Amino acid sequence: MTDEPRGEPIQAGEPAPPFELPAVTASGEQETVCMPGAAEAGPVLLIFYQDDGMPICTRELTAIALDHALLEGAGVRVFGINTNGLGSHRKFQERDHFPFPLISDFHGEAVKAYGFWDAEERKSRRALVLVAEGGIVKHVVPHFNPGNVNGKVEIFAALGLA
């Protein structure tokens, strides 16, 4: 991966940029998440968010967690991703119990490659990226606002669930 951030958010139809990063599961265990390997068995929803524990970020992840059973039933694997470290993710999981792993992109390599790097804040912007089985981006919600249900509706429509 490059250290240079992508200028624009990734678009549907593009290959998902590869990464291999650590994550903290709902039970607090550590695992490694590889992309596009994670999409070999079915679609993947990546939730890009700014910071662990911040109110809007908590609402963003909770908005997806509320529909996790529906997504899981449709064969979708869900992951949160930001630049916080594993210790921060572990505390966030202990506090909020998200039913999906939180990926630590500590150096921002994946965030930059997907086009969600906020250079001024030096962290991720909020977004949803649906990667289809096989590793091709199927849908992008580049400015996901958890208070606006349209972003979730777009993802469900792209999955054929709406």
The CA-based dihedral angle spanning residues 103, 104, 105, 110, taken in that order and rounded to the nearest 10 degrees: 0
Give the separation between CA 133 and CA 77, rounded to whole angstroms: 10
What superfamily would CATH give domain 19-158? Answer: Glutaredoxin (3.40.30.10)
The whole-number pLDDT of residue 3 equals: 65
**pLDDT tens, per residue, the chain with 162 residues:** 446 778 899 999 999 999 999 999 999 999 999 999 898 989 999 999 999 999 999 999 999 999 999 999 999 999 999 999 999 999 999 999 999 999 999 999 999 999 999 999 889 999 999 999 989 999 999 988 888 888 889 999 999 886
The whole-number pLDDT of residue 31 equals: 97
Q: Is the dihedral of CA 49, 50, 52, 55 positive or negative?
A: negative
